[in-house]
Amino acid sequence: MDRRMLLRSAGSAAVAGSLGALGVAALATPAQAAPGTINTDQVMATTNRVTHAPNQRGSIGIELRSGYYNGYQYGWGRLVGSGWDPRGWIWLDISRDGGRTWSFVDGTYMSDGTGYAHTSGWLTQSDPNYVFRASYDSSFRAVNPYIQSGIW
């Protein structure tokens, strides 16, 4: 399994400490926490995107993707290929125990007019027990979805 890492800016603290040691005043700024989610438009604005845990069934593919938005890594589910029902759903589940139990976190209806075939993005964590999976089916949150990604 790939290890995910949040980008943290420890360099700011090191620079401020160095400036203070030199007698230079540095303006303190409050640390900004990353938002836990980004919307589908923001997912499209991510950088350094990588595909994880793809799965294919016929001409339909599903995968987990990750990318960076404002310096933080997010993950989301994406549907690719052709032949999927535009009235279907793609959704994202997250597990905090390595995949033993799952919590639904986000779903996207394909015919909502946005043209997106992906979920919103969720902040990743370096904890190896914090994993994602994506599913697609014509029924929302089906127990046995038509196709499901691997776990990342």
CB atoms within 10 A of CB 100: 8
Give the start-to-end residue ranges of the domains of the chain. Answer: 37-149
Please, which pLDDT band fits residue 113 given cuts at 50, 70 and 90? Answer: low
Is residue 82 within 8 A of residue 59, CB to CB? The reply is yes
More confident residue, 11 or 144: 144
Average pLDDT over residues 55-80: 96
Q: How many CB atoms lie within 10 A of CB 86?
A: 11
Q: Which residues pair with 47 in a beta bridge?
A: 68
Model confidence, pTM:
0.76
In contact, 42 and 61? CB cutoff 8 Å:
no
Cα separations in angstroms, 111 against 10, 43, 44, 47, 86 = 43, 18, 18, 26, 6
pLDDT band of residue 116 (cuts 50, 70, 90) is confident
Residues 8-37 pLDDT 10s: 333 333 333 433 444 444 433 444 567 899
